[in-house]
């Protein structure tokens, strides 16, 4: 029996047993239902308005859940789950939430039928391991020396559900070019694609098709003064994290001056200190100076005279990327161990060219031909802020997917193919077990079918019929050895039929599917283990005393 009464020693509500489970499942279902309709190539968008009236229009699962203020503790687990998927893989955030809530719902039904949560948990864990193994061994296809076509297809699959889905051919090629441009080999000899160094700049005007890829890192600021050169070749770049302004006395420092002439000397010294610092920078060979803070007019004069470009108020994040790409060191103080101020030329970064260019109505600083990793920027054009923001989110997902595909080299068919194959496989596996886990594994198998079902429903097609056809194909594959060609059968959502998605180019990195299964299972297990919730009430008497 559930206890919802206050116990004498606990100030608050205490619920236990089935009550809590049902409550948790309902909360998670509510969260999943919000994102459910945004899954798939014909998924719909959500408009989110925050407390100050800012509008976000998106169908990216992680963004939707991040902007919702979720109160319920179990539902918060799903929000964190979507964030984790976004961090680890970059795409598949909606799928992972839907699968997790379906697993929970079915587990709750089993508990109601008298099966202990521990048995369900061990069944789910076994099913998860088997499913991941099956994806890697049987369903994943190695894409030897990944051709550009398969990378473009991965990017197109990721974009299909987004705003730019209609122009996915154009954007997919742009994304693949951008990811391949930042290829680097790390110390251990592994090839990596650090997509964080791909800068995305959003500029109003023109249509989405006018977006383009720029070879170089674009900073969304102009030169600090008009007298500076528009372009510097063979740029030696200093990255600073402090003000180049007239030095002021620290707060709390008292100077007693007896002679008024001394005061003028103090003022002069304050001015000279900045001049000396700039002199040290220029002497070390710097002809481009970037700082995250300000540069005052007096300091700008020296840079103009030296023919150097100075840029102020650069974003910290941009600064880190520039420093990494050019081989510069971000300097936060000139002070050395002896207390003197020095600046070594070894702290400078190198680029072939730094120039100011005009994009749309904004001046941007372009850093081209960087020393260590090649930097590229995506310049997005679009009608308004909402559209540009959603384009940026869509490109982030596509960039992540291409990176994962290149690094893992394994792809699987999309459109519900993997989920249907796993469902059939796990059902067969469940019948071979003679323990209680059998029921949990069978429910796990059923839960995976939620993905093809939701895809079909969102596309306004007959979900029951399509999923039945899919399962029939996958059952044939797994029982007849000569029917291997059907193992990539998935849904064609524009026509409402079943087709070979591997041939049709609807592919995803295998890693994405494996992570979805792992994360969803872990989240479901976390919530399923909860059998008691104690909600403490604020003790008003303590507040009164304070």
Q: Are residues 333 and 230 in the same domain?
A: yes
Cβ pair 448, 419 in contact under 8 A: yes
Q: What is the CATH number of the domain that holds 231?
A: 3.50.7.10
Q: Of the candidates 482, 480, 499, 490, which has an alpha carbon nearest to the alpha carbon of residue 423?
A: 490
Q: Distances from the Cα of 317 to the Cαs of 219, 309, 321, in angstroms?
A: 11, 20, 6
Q: Would you say residue 537 lies in a domain? A: no
Q: What pLDDT score was predicted for residue 9?
A: 60
Q: Are residues 107 and 255 in the same domain?
A: no
Is 297 known to be catalytic? no
Residue of 45, 86, 397, 492 with catalytic role: 397
| Cα separation, 456 vs 423, whole angstroms | 17
Q: Would you say residue 401 lies in a domain? A: no
Q: Of the candidates 153, 84, 203, 166, which has an alpha carbon nearest to the alpha carbon of residue 411?
A: 153
Q: Which two tokens stand for residue 486?
A: 């059907």
Is 397 known to be catalytic? yes
Q: Which two tokens stand for residue 513?
A: 């599917």
Q: Are residues 329 and 438 in the same domain?
A: no
Q: Are residues 366 and 450 in the same domain?
A: no
Q: What pLDDT score was predicted for residue 88?
A: 86
Q: What is the CATH number of the domain that holds 84?
A: 1.10.560.10
Is 60 known to be catalytic? yes
Residue 275 parent element (H or E): helix 260-283
Bridge partners, 136 (sequence order): none
Q: Of the candidates 108, 98, 107, 82, which has an alpha carbon nearest to the alpha carbon of residue 33?
A: 98
What does the pLDDT look like over 370-410, one tens digit per residue? 776 677 888 888 888 888 888 888 888 889 888 888 888 88
| Cα separation, 398 vs 171, whole angstroms | 9
Q: Are residues 246 and 119 in the same domain?
A: no
Residue of 56, 58, 63, 93 with catalytic role: 93
C-beta contacts of 273-276 below 8 A and 24+ residues apart: 273/247, 274/244, 274/245, 274/246, 274/247, 274/298, 274/299, 275/299, 275/302, 276/341
> What are the b/e assignments for 323-341, b being 16+ CB within 10 Å?
bbbbbbebbeeeeeeeeee
> What are the b/e assignments for 450-482, b being 16+ CB within 10 Å?
bbbbbbbbbbebebeebbebbbebbbebbeeee
Residue 297 exposed, middle or buried by CB count within 10 Å (0-12, 13-18, 19+): exposed
Q: Which two tokens stand for residue 395?
A: 């490109």
Q: Are residues 222 and 103 in the same domain?
A: no
Strand ranges (E), 43-109: 46-49, 55-58
Q: What pLDDT score was predicted for residue 378?
A: 87
Q: Are residues 332 and 460 in the same domain?
A: no
Q: Would you say residue 170 lies in a domain? A: no
Count up the domains in the chain and report the number. Answer: 2
Q: Are residues 341 and 428 in the same domain?
A: no
| Cα separation, 486 vs 417, whole angstroms | 10
Q: Would you say residue 149 lies in a domain? A: no
What does the pLDDT look like over 275-327, one tens digit per residue? 788 888 888 888 888 888 888 887 788 888 888 888 888 888 888 888 888 88
User: What's the sign of the alpha-carbon dihedral 466, 470, 476, 482?
Assistant: positive
Cβ pair 517, 128 in contact under 8 A: yes
Q: Of the candidates 156, 174, 115, which has an alpha carbon nearest to the alpha carbon of residue 507?
A: 156
* End-of-domain residue from the set 342, 373, 404: 373
* End-of-domain residue from the set 324, 356, 373: 373
Residue of 60, 318, 389, 492 with catalytic role: 60
Q: Are residues 418 and 327 in the same domain?
A: no
> Residues of the chain whose pLDDT is less than 70?
1-11, 144-146, 247-251, 337-339, 372-373, 482-486, 539-546
* End-of-domain residue from the set 352, 373, 394: 373
| Cα separation, 158 vs 91, whole angstroms | 7
What does the pLDDT look like over 484-514, one tens digit per residue? 666 788 888 888 888 888 888 888 888 889 9
Rounded to the nearest 10 degrees, the angle between the axes of helix 18-36 and helix 93-112 is: 150
Q: Are residues 55 and 122 in the same domain?
A: yes
| Cα separation, 23 vs 60, whole angstroms | 26
The pTM assigned to this predicted structure is: 0.82
Residue of 58, 94, 292, 370 with catalytic role: 94
Q: Would you say residue 450 lies in a domain? A: yes
Q: Are residues 133 and 257 in the same domain?
A: no
Q: Which residues contact 47 (CB under 8 A, 6 or more apart)?
A: 55, 56, 57
Q: Which two tokens stand for residue 160?
A: 């299909």
* Domain boundaries, position 224: 217-373
Q: Are residues 356 and 504 in the same domain?
A: no
Q: Would you say residue 424 lies in a domain? A: yes
Cβ pair 229, 338 in contact under 8 A: no
> Would strands 231-240 and 330-331 be described as parallel, antiparallel, or unpaired?
parallel
Q: Would you say residue 183 lies in a domain? A: no
The length of the chain, given as a count of residues = 546
Q: What pLDDT score was predicted for residue 1?
A: 45
Is 185 known to be catalytic? no
Q: Would you say residue 150 lies in a domain? A: no
């Amino acid at each position: 029996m559930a206890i919802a009464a206050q116990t004498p020693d606990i100030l608050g509500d205490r619920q236990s047993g089935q009550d809590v489970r049902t409550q948790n499942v309902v909360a998670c279902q509510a969260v999943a239902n919000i994102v459910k309709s945004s899954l798939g190539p014909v998924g719909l968008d959500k408009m989110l308005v925050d407390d100050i009236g800012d509008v976000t229009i998106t169908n990216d699962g992680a963004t939707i859940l991040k902007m919702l203020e979720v109160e319920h503790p179990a539902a918060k687990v799903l929000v964190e789950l979507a964030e984790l998927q976004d961090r680890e893989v970059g795409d598949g955030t909606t799928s992972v939430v839907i699968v997790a809530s379906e697993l929970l719902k079915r587990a709750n039904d089993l508990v109601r039928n008298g099966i202990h949560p521990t048995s369900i948990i061990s069944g789910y864990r076994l099913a998860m391991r088997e499913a991941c193994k099956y994806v890697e061994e049987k369903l994943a296809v190695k894409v030897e020396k990944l051709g550009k076509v398969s990378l473009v297809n991965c990017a197109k699959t990721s974009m299909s559900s987004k705003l730019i889905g209609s122009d996915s051919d154009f954007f997919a090629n742009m994304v693949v070019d951008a990811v391949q441009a930042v290829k680097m080999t790390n110390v251990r000899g592994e090839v990596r694609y650090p997509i964080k160094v791909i800068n995305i700049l959003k500029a109003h005007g023109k249509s989405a098709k006018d977006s383009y890829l720029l070879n170089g890192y674009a900073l969304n600021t102009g030169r600090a003064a008009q007298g500076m050169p528009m372009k510097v070749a063979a740029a030696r770049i200093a990255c600073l994290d402090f003000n180049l302004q007239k030095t002021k006395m620290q707060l709390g420092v008292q100077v007693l001056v007896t002679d008024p002439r001394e005061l003028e000397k103090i003022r002069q010294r304050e001015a000279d200190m900045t001049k000396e610092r700039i002199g040290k920078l220029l002497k070390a060979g710097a002809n481009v100076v970037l700082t995250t803070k300000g540069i005052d007019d007096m300091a700008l004069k020296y840079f103009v005279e030296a023919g150097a470009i100075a840029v102020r108020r650069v974003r910290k994040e941009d600064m880190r990327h520039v420093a990494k790409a050019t081989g510069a060191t971000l300097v936060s103080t000139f002070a050395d161990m002896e207390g003197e101020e020095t600046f070594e030329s070894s702290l400078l970064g190198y680029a072939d060219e730094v120039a100011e260019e005009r994009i749309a109505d904004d001046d941007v600083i372009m850093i081209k031909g960087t020393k260590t990793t090649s930097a590229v920027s995506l310049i997005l054009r679009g009608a308004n802020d909402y559209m540009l923001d959603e384009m940026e989110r869509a490109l982030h997902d596509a960039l992540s997917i291409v990176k994962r595909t290149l690094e893992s080299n394994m792809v699987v068919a999309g459109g519900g193919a993997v989920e249907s194959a796993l469902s059939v496989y796990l059902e067969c596996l469940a019948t071979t077990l003679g323990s209680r886990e059998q029921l949990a594994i069978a429910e796990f198998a059923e839960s995976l079918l939620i993905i093809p079902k939701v895809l079909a429903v969102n596309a306004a097609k007959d979900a029951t019929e399509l999923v039945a056809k899919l399962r029939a194909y996958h059952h044939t594959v797994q029982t007849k050895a000569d029917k291997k060609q059907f193992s990539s059968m998935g849904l064609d959502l524009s026509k409402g039929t079943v087709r070979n998605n591997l041939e049709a180019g609807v592919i995803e990195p295998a890693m994405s599917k494996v992570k979805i299964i792992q994360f969803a299972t872990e989240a479901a297990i976390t919530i399923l283990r909860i059998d008691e919730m104690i909600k403490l009430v604020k003790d008003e008497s303590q507040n009164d005393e304070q």
